Amino acid sequence: MQYFLLNQISFRISQRPLRPLRFKIFGMAKEVEIKFRIADVRALTRALRREGFKQITRSTNEMNVLYDLPGQKLRKRGELLRLRHYGDEWILTNKAKGTSGRHKVRVERETRVEDGERMDEILRALGFAPTFRYEKYRAEWSDGKGHVVVDRTPIGNVGEIEGAARWIDRTARALGIARTDYITQTYAGLFFEWKRRTGSSAMEMTFRAVRRKGI
């Protein structure tokens, strides 16, 4: 697995202030969500507006770096440690091992970070190293009860619905998403599934890497 240095990563910063990134209070919370493939972003946008959703943030570049200990100890336990740069915010997140029924459910702990590059230095000093990087352009929508995000990624457009389980199902149904369309995989899982399907030699889910390596 390739390792990456954060000071070699370039980020596009949003030109307007963003609301706090996360949908929940910073700290510890239970994350309940599903992903789904987006065939038509414009059609989904119309459906969101029809159902009373308001756009919270415009489509903004987001870069994510996953960290692990030697021997991939976190991955083997089903856990995740991520440093995210979204617009002008840095977020450090730890996710516990999840359960995947109809929805993906896992305990999540996260906090804002003032200096992402210094956080990277701290993680490395503690023995963590970057193991995977993935990028997307994310727009966020809310109806006041939960959130829908629209992600443009190097491997296609993907949506997420996050909130209470029943609300997720009601919202999905209103947006024309069948339960058979629910996805509970992580982005890393989706990327490596895409690699197997396409034969791409890209080692990270970034626009530059996927364009360079092709299919």
At 75 the pLDDT is: 94
- Structure-block tokens of residue 81: 């440690």
Domain segments of the chain as ranges: 26-213
**174, 47 Cβ separation under 8 angstroms:** yes
pTM over 0.95: no
pLDDT at 111: 96
Q: What stretch of H or E contains 194?
A: helix 187-198
| pLDDT (average), residues 163-178 | 97
Summarised one tens digit per residue, pLDDT across range 81-115 is: 999 999 999 999 999 987 778 999 999 999 999 99
HEC states along 120-168? Answer: HHHHHHCCCEEEEEEEEEEEEEECCCCEEEEEEECCEEEEEEECCHHHH
Whether the Cβ atoms of residue 30 and residue 106 lie closer than 8 Å to each other: yes
Over residues 31-76, the pLDDT tens digits come to 999 999 999 999 999 999 999 999 999 999 999 999 999 999 999 9
Q: Which phi and psi angles does 175 have, rounded to 5°?
A: -90, 5
- Please count the other Cβ atoms lying within 10 Å of the Cβ belonging to residue 207: 14
Average pLDDT estimate for 139-150 = 97
CA distance 194 to 48: 28
What CATH number does domain 26-213 carry, 3.20.190.10, 2.160.20.80, 3.30.1280.10, 2.40.320.10? 2.40.320.10
Buried b (16+ CB within 10 A) or exposed e, 69-83: eeeeebbeeebbbbb
User: Would you state the structure tokens that stand for residue 6, as one six-digit string?
Assistant: 């954060």
Q: Is the dihedral of CA 205, 212, 60, 90 positive or negative?
A: positive
Supply the mean pLDDT for the chain: 88
